[in-house]
Amino acid sequence: MGRRNRLLSLAVLFAALLGVAVAGCGGGNEKDAKALLKRAFAESIPSANVTIDISAKIDGVPQLSQPVRLKLGGPFKTNGKGTLPSLNWDVSVSGGGQTFSAGAISTGDRAFVNFQGTNYEVDQATMTQLKQAAASSGGGGSRSLKQFGVDPLSWVKDASEEGDADVAGVKTKHVSAGIDVERLFNDLNKVVAKAGGAVGSARPQQLTPEIIDQIKKVVHDPKFDVYVGKDDDKIRRAALSLQFTVPQQAQASARGVKGGNVTISVEFAGVGEPQTIAAPANAKPISELAKQLRGLGGPLGAAGGIGGSTGGSSGATPGGTPGGEPGTTGGGGKSPTSEQFQRYAQCLNKVKPSDTAALNRCSRLLK
């Protein structure tokens, strides 16, 4: 339970980090670079087309010889303070020779999950809880980590400006910096303490000083890169990367893990532009999806469908026939082989999660 709560704590931090929009412009030394970041963390992004890419490579575990990767993204817009945002995001996960793809849609008032080409609507009881959590936390509008008593600049060290770069078709200023790991995870505890109560009675467990000290010993070379628009002081890309090494005497208890690396990047395109996000037609109750998932075998149940903004279940689905019902094999077809999963994972790594046509091409590799 403690390990799961610590993972949830990390997830809360990453969610907070992804909710912070940064921007600015500045000079060339560390003082100027930090001044740029200070202005950056004070800004927010009301709308954009978002791409989030999280990748982790684990050394010492043959099943994870390829990176574990989570990609999600699509249009996003806020709906004001204390409300849920609107979004239409595709989600893909690959790793260990398996893949999973889906989609998530929110209009602010309604929410949907897309699985294997079919949309399922979240029940009203759950939506009421989510809206209450957003209202109590002030989420959905312009917000920053300062609401949690956190100063992100305290994590940054050795900041410097690296010149101009083109990101998402926009001229940007690039700032690079190191990360003070101890301060970052101490601030994580503050985020968990204030955010945990907003998501129900099960408050995530905070990290003890001993755990933070262990993290400091295994994490090395953390880097933080931010790219901000030169003309509008809005973020276009932010990335955090770090490496970790497990001491030899601890590798057995870590199930053979020797080390690895983690990268998290967030890219914003079309910042401030209108984003049209509508509820899909003919969505089924999410209870039907729960029944379907209970009937599927394997760690992921199935290869997973291609998430997107369109309703219905037309087209070919992994493990199914064109136009067939999700999860069917059209008369006893075989499950995809491990080699097919590998090719599918490699294909997903090359495409953006918002490119539905490319994701559909990848899915054909599972036939």
pLDDT score recorded for residue 141 = 47
How many other CB atoms are there within 10 angstroms of residue 26's CB atom?
20
The SS3 assignment for 39 reads helix
pLDDT tens digit string along 87-111?
Answer: 999 999 888 777 888 999 999 999 9
3-state SS string over 173-208? Answer: EEEEEEECHHHHHHHHHHHHHHHHHHHCCCCCCCCC
Determine the pLDDT at residue 316: 33
Q: What is the pLDDT of residues 215-274, one digit of tens each?
A: 888 998 899 999 988 888 788 899 999 999 988 888 888 788 899 999 999 999 999 999
Query: Rounded to the nearest 10 degrees, how much is the dihedral formed by the CA atoms of 114, 116, 120, 122?
Result: -50
Residue 347 CB neighbour total at 10 angstroms: 19
| Positions of E strands within 78-155 | 86-95, 98-106, 111-115, 118-121
In DSSP terms, which residues pair with 76 in a beta bridge?
A: 48, 87
**Predicted local distance difference test score (pLDDT) of residue 63:** 72
Spelled out in words, what is the top-level CATH class assigned to the domain 2-78+142-280? mainly beta
pLDDT at residue number 21: 36
State how far the alpha carbon of 197 is from the alpha carbons of 18, 130, 131, 134, in Å.
19, 13, 14, 11
Residue among 188, 219, 221, 220 at smallest CA distance from 205: 188
Q: How far apart are CA 134 and CA 126, in angstroms?
A: 12
Q: For the chain, how are helix, strand and coil distributed in percent, rounded to 5?
A: 30, 30, 40
∠ CA 120-121-122, nearest 5°, is 120
0.85 surpassed by pTM: no
Give the model's pLDDT for residue 255.
81
Q: Give yes or no for a contact between 292 and 102, defined as CB atoms under 8 angstroms apart.
A: no
- Residue 53 near residue 270 (C-beta atoms within 8 A): no
Residues of the chain with pLDDT below 50 are 1-27, 141-143, 198-201, 297-335, 354
Instruction: Report CA Rg, the chain.
Output: 21
| H or E element, residue 133 | helix 124-137
Q: What is the pLDDT of residue 194?
A: 64
Sheet holding 259-269, edge to edge: 156-167, 170-179, 219-229, 235-245, 259-269, 47-59, 68-77, 86-95, 98-106, 111-115, 118-121, 284-285
| pLDDT value for 349 | 63
pLDDT at 12: 45
Query: What pLDDT is recorded for position 195?
Result: 56
